[in-house]
Structure 1
């Protein structure tokens, strides 16, 4: 028997980005020093002005922040997202109004909680976290699945800003997308996606199961039960019923799930029952959220909507967070991944409706009593990182769990000691990244580095996965130190290069990417003032989910290696 109420903390590793402080003995030329990182969003979608006290933009959290889940304690909301093969795991945000969010850290911020390994692809790892607050014991729970790792587990916290417990494994909860309900009678349940009992009746058919959970022991009890098989209309053979959430509302149990897969056919459906064990009746209004029937050439298109979670405000209003994508072509191509959106919920015949059929997800939504924050996560914001603090903020992430020390923030510089690991390997390279949050954007940095061999590289990386990337920086080509642009789409090719003839070693070089949907310009500056184009109109569709596949979005960051 183990207790889950007493949260275990490891104060020596309070934040994930303090994990990788390097041994500082290398020569300066062996270290890549980055003077700043600047990112600017330039989307047409956000150029219409709004009153930030009365209106908000969708998405509310832009870029690769998928599978949102939300809970509330008092007047404070908490939001989490999937993180897949990146570390730290499960970004967590805090808000007073459901619109203006501040990232307060990551739920899984130390290797003892999340040890992503070389066998886990970038779209493996942490799937669909669900966050819940249990008022009975004043405890927060986050439950999720580590694909290719430890499977289904949960962690607990008394205060999400102070850290979370070690994982509690749930081997009896199979497959993906577990979620808690803490009932008002003191009982608790876990629902999750599973294989249908006795096998599927059609291809990609899934089911939803329920377990009772004993809060006192922290374990499931009794037998589980299949409570939903197939989806809202089994006669239509729907695929991938998943992402379940169970709610107790006005004496009924509401089961809300994603359906149709996470591509353009994605949707949200809802059912209800007088008992958590069923039987469940589907709403006649299903799907209660989808964009699959709308014209693909609509303005400010949002697609792939689903995987929603409901939340009630202290005043009794209902809202829903959900994922969606922002394609830049008519065939649903996007580089920014799946993002977090917010809409008010209406009720029809005692069932929730997130968006009426045929209506597009609006870009601008009205909401009263907004409290604009200081951390922009949507709109056309500019992010400046001058490395003046002794640690990076929570928006920076690593590819898998770092196994070696490689960086240090000191005196206005980020210094990366190159590892003999490349971003093309399924390991954890010496790279630090942030999410691309706009279709149109610019990202730039200045790097001080002297390459000595063709294996050496330092500069910018635009990363979708190991086989789909751009690398833009300094290396050796034909015996000469050069600025190079590599494009990786299955195979690696030099898109453009420029020898640095007559340039002193370790001369600072500025690098800039101007992304415009599926194309990009790559520029450099040797004098810090004048930009020169190394490659213009480069095909960046290799960074799209449609080409790269998987569940993540493009991340942009700073990278150095001795294994180019």
Structure 2
């Protein structure tokens, strides 16, 4: 589970010699954000976010002294990254829940399609983990296992559960329930109105029983016409059941709200202090280390009895623009008069936070803070950081580098390109590679892609320009334009480097044995932001080759 399951030994078995391969010798990444450049004691303090970059919609559970956390993955494969931790602070990726195409069909789905809002739950009655989610192209389903390290079942689809964001709850008496977001009964009364439904679940036979019930229509009364009530989680504390939901949409008006009842079917009582988490009002818009869009939370109790919440938030570089996507944050939960509160109103989410019982780790963290790494592709399998877009075919091997056989597929298509992707985790970062590639036509390309979706992206690499080898930079914001180009000598390997500083990126190249040359400075990369592109992912850095650019 610690490495991607596509074995390098088998990946070129079916490849012909019809196209020139592209060999990426290494990939180097460095992140250096000012917000993380702070002194803190890692034995008693931690940094937010705890998972930096494109790790949205967190859900977690605890079994014994181990916490398990999952995130949305949309149309990337493998799907649903799963992490473990002993202290809620230091997370290590165990693998992916959905690591087989039979579990995760993604054909023809847009980049921000695929997997929405996975929820992980443990049922102590049958000692089984459940992960339930929405595949936008197929419907709601769940998989299960008794050991997340050993893989998960084939998907069990739930045709009776509509909408999105399903989540399990297993009561003390063994009964199971699913809550989800869907269109209100009889249709919505205004744009953005949604409802939360509950279904009884037959644990023994893995199926929904009876009719669904609408338990919350529209949302809470924080607003006159609340919008996008979603991401529901049901849990029990003492005599009360609690229904915790995201509300307000996953942008600047995002929040988390709470209700309670003495029966899972209701009636539900709203908390008068809602929302229990938000960053939308009462804060200085020019505050340092700004975090916005906080919401979509999940909650867990430690063995010692205290409570903690994980949730998504964003790190904008200006306005509502952020290229790093939606991160995972951690904050303590305070109970007041029988209600959980994640963050007091008009309180900014801090970067440095206090916490007892942090377990020091010798592993170099690549999940938060400032860090760098170099991947020389010298293992038998790809590192777990690398992802594919949609269901990949056999297009690469590891042989003294990452060797890609270019497919006639462009990143502008809803197909699976010959590319591997990792996350841009910092606002200030650099990414570097060396590619050895001999293009045969102006359709052939090998180098970097920076991806937000099919229409919003960059390509930066080697191709032919007027029949001559060249390095070319293109920017797409619906329309694709060439930002810069430079002719290069012969077919020797070329180095490529990207340096990002918030909204603006610089692009460099270096021919073999020569100094770095600037191809374009201060290029506007706002097209990689969620607000501009209307996508759900964070920007991803791809090593990409194609015969159809």
Equivalent in the alignment of 1:299: 288
Equivalent in the alignment of 1:363: 351
Cα pair 1:57 1:378 within 8 Å, conserved: yes
- Residue of structure 2 aligned with 1:443, choices 431, 434, 443: 431
Say whether 1:96 aligns with 2:122: no
In the alignment, the residues of structure 2 paired with residue 212 and residue 356 of structure 1 have an alpha-carbon distance, to the nearest angstrom, of 34
Q: Compared with structure 1, are the counterparts of its residues 480 and 158 closer, same or farther at alpha carbon in structure 2 (3 Å cutoff)?
A: same
- Residue of structure 2 aligned with 1:112, choices 79, 102, 109: 102
Cα pair 2:4 2:383 within 8 Å, conserved: no
Equivalent in the alignment of 2:177: 189
In the alignment, the residues of structure 1 paired with residue 521 and residue 6 of structure 2 have an alpha-carbon distance, to the nearest angstrom, of 34
Shift of 1:410: 2.1
Q: Compared with structure 1, are the counterparts of its residues 205 and 25 closer, same or farther at alpha carbon in structure 2 (3 Å cutoff)?
A: closer
TM-score, length of structure 1 as denominator length:
0.94
Equivalent in the alignment of 1:504: 490
Cα pair 1:545 1:553 within 8 Å, conserved: yes
Shift of 1:53: 1.3
Cα pair 2:260 2:269 within 8 Å, conserved: yes
- Residue of structure 2 aligned with 1:407, choices 388, 396, 419: 396
In the alignment, the residues of structure 2 paired with residue 211 and residue 51 of structure 1 have an alpha-carbon distance, to the nearest angstrom, of 46
Q: Compared with structure 1, are the counterparts of its residues 14 and 479 closer, same or farther at alpha carbon in structure 2 (3 Å cutoff)?
A: closer
Q: Compared with structure 1, are the counterparts of its residues 25 and 255 closer, same or farther at alpha carbon in structure 2 (3 Å cutoff)?
A: closer
In the alignment, the residues of structure 2 paired with residue 137 and residue 426 of structure 1 have an alpha-carbon distance, to the nearest angstrom, of 40
Equivalent in the alignment of 1:3: none
Q: Is there any run of 5+ residues in structure 2 with no aligned partner, and where?
A: none
In the alignment, the residues of structure 2 paired with residue 113 and residue 345 of structure 1 have an alpha-carbon distance, to the nearest angstrom, of 35
- Residue of structure 1 aligned with 2:123, choices 114, 120, 134: 134
- After the TM superposition, list the runs of 4 or more consecutive aligned residues in structure 1 that deviate by more than 3 angstroms: 13-20, 24-29
- The correspondence of residues 464-483 of structure 1 with structure 2, limited to 5 A, is 464-483=452-471
Say whether 1:456 aligns with 2:441: no
- Residue of structure 2 aligned with 1:395, choices 360, 370, 385: 385
Say whether 1:420 aligns with 2:420: no
Say whether 1:50 aligns with 2:50: no
Shift of 1:22: 2.1
Q: Compared with structure 1, are the counterparts of its residues 49 and 26 closer, same or farther at alpha carbon in structure 2 (3 Å cutoff)?
A: farther
Cα pair 1:17 1:394 within 8 Å, conserved: no
Cα pair 2:55 2:72 within 8 Å, conserved: yes
In the alignment, the residues of structure 2 paired with residue 234 and residue 75 of structure 1 have an alpha-carbon distance, to the nearest angstrom, of 37
Say whether 1:204 aligns with 2:192: yes
In the alignment, the residues of structure 1 paired with residue 326 and residue 469 of structure 2 have an alpha-carbon distance, to the nearest angstrom, of 38
Shift of 1:29: 7.8
Cα pair 1:455 1:562 within 8 Å, conserved: yes
Q: Is there any run of 5+ residues in structure 1 with no aligned partner, and where?
A: 1-10
Equivalent in the alignment of 2:206: 218
Q: Which moved more, 1:289-298 or 1:65-74?
A: 289-298
In the alignment, the residues of structure 2 paired with residue 531 and residue 53 of structure 1 have an alpha-carbon distance, to the nearest angstrom, of 41
Equivalent in the alignment of 1:551: 536
Shift of 1:17: 3.8
Q: Secondary structure at the match of 2:148?
A: coil
In the alignment, the residues of structure 2 paired with residue 318 and residue 195 of structure 1 have an alpha-carbon distance, to the nearest angstrom, of 32
In the alignment, the residues of structure 2 paired with residue 14 and residue 393 of structure 1 have an alpha-carbon distance, to the nearest angstrom, of 6
In the alignment, the residues of structure 2 paired with residue 258 and residue 504 of structure 1 have an alpha-carbon distance, to the nearest angstrom, of 56
Cα pair 1:510 1:528 within 8 Å, conserved: no
Equivalent in the alignment of 2:306: 317
Q: Compared with structure 1, are the counterparts of its residues 457 and 327 closer, same or farther at alpha carbon in structure 2 (3 Å cutoff)?
A: same
In the alignment, the residues of structure 2 paired with residue 144 and residue 79 of structure 1 have an alpha-carbon distance, to the nearest angstrom, of 14
In the alignment, the residues of structure 2 paired with residue 467 and residue 230 of structure 1 have an alpha-carbon distance, to the nearest angstrom, of 33
In the alignment, the residues of structure 2 paired with residue 66 and residue 105 of structure 1 have an alpha-carbon distance, to the nearest angstrom, of 16
Cα pair 1:29 1:450 within 8 Å, conserved: no
Shift of 1:504: 3.4
Say whether 1:513 aligns with 2:501: no
In the alignment, the residues of structure 1 paired with residue 378 and residue 483 of structure 2 have an alpha-carbon distance, to the nearest angstrom, of 34
Cα pair 2:498 2:505 within 8 Å, conserved: yes
- The correspondence of residues 25-36 of structure 1 with structure 2, limited to 5 A, is 30-36=20-26
Say whether 1:382 aligns with 2:372: yes
Equivalent in the alignment of 2:31: 41
Shift of 1:425: 1.0
Equivalent in the alignment of 1:6: none
In the alignment, the residues of structure 1 paired with residue 429 and residue 402 of structure 2 have an alpha-carbon distance, to the nearest angstrom, of 22
Instruction: Deviation per CA, 1:482-512: give whole Å up to 9, x if none.
Output: 0111111111111111111xx332x111111
Cα pair 1:30 1:450 within 8 Å, conserved: yes
Say whether 1:282 aligns with 2:280: no
Say whether 1:530 aligns with 2:484: no
Shift of 1:530: 2.1
Q: Secondary structure at the match of 1:255?
A: strand
In the alignment, the residues of structure 2 paired with residue 163 and residue 87 of structure 1 have an alpha-carbon distance, to the nearest angstrom, of 15
Shift of 1:25: 5.8
Q: Compared with structure 1, are the counterparts of its residues 29 and 369 closer, same or farther at alpha carbon in structure 2 (3 Å cutoff)?
A: same
Q: Compared with structure 1, are the counterparts of its residues 45 and 156 closer, same or farther at alpha carbon in structure 2 (3 Å cutoff)?
A: same
Cα pair 1:509 1:528 within 8 Å, conserved: no
Two-structure CA RMSD over aligned residues (Å)? 1.6
Instruction: Deviation per CA, 1:379-415: give whole Å up to 9, x if none.
Output: 001122111111112211111111x21001123x100
Q: Secondary structure at the match of 1:345?
A: strand
In the alignment, the residues of structure 1 paired with residue 57 and residue 233 of structure 2 have an alpha-carbon distance, to the nearest angstrom, of 12
In the alignment, the residues of structure 1 paired with residue 145 and residue 345 of structure 2 have an alpha-carbon distance, to the nearest angstrom, of 39
In the alignment, the residues of structure 2 paired with residue 461 and residue 38 of structure 1 have an alpha-carbon distance, to the nearest angstrom, of 15
In the alignment, the residues of structure 2 paired with residue 34 and residue 54 of structure 1 have an alpha-carbon distance, to the nearest angstrom, of 41
Equivalent in the alignment of 1:243: 231
Instruction: Deviation per CA, 1:333-369: give whole Å up to 9, x if none.
Output: 1111111000000011110000000000110111112
Q: Compared with structure 1, are the counterparts of its residues 528 and 334 closer, same or farther at alpha carbon in structure 2 (3 Å cutoff)?
A: farther
In the alignment, the residues of structure 2 paired with residue 28 and residue 117 of structure 1 have an alpha-carbon distance, to the nearest angstrom, of 25
In the alignment, the residues of structure 2 paired with residue 179 and residue 338 of structure 1 have an alpha-carbon distance, to the nearest angstrom, of 20
Q: Compared with structure 1, are the counterparts of its residues 29 and 199 closer, same or farther at alpha carbon in structure 2 (3 Å cutoff)?
A: closer
- Residue of structure 2 aligned with 1:176, choices 153, 164, 186: 164
In the alignment, the residues of structure 1 paired with residue 497 and residue 43 of structure 2 have an alpha-carbon distance, to the nearest angstrom, of 34
Q: Compared with structure 1, are the counterparts of its residues 414 and 235 closer, same or farther at alpha carbon in structure 2 (3 Å cutoff)?
A: closer
In the alignment, the residues of structure 1 paired with residue 18 and residue 441 of structure 2 have an alpha-carbon distance, to the nearest angstrom, of 16
Cα pair 1:139 1:158 within 8 Å, conserved: yes
Aligned residues: 545
Equivalent in the alignment of 2:68: 78
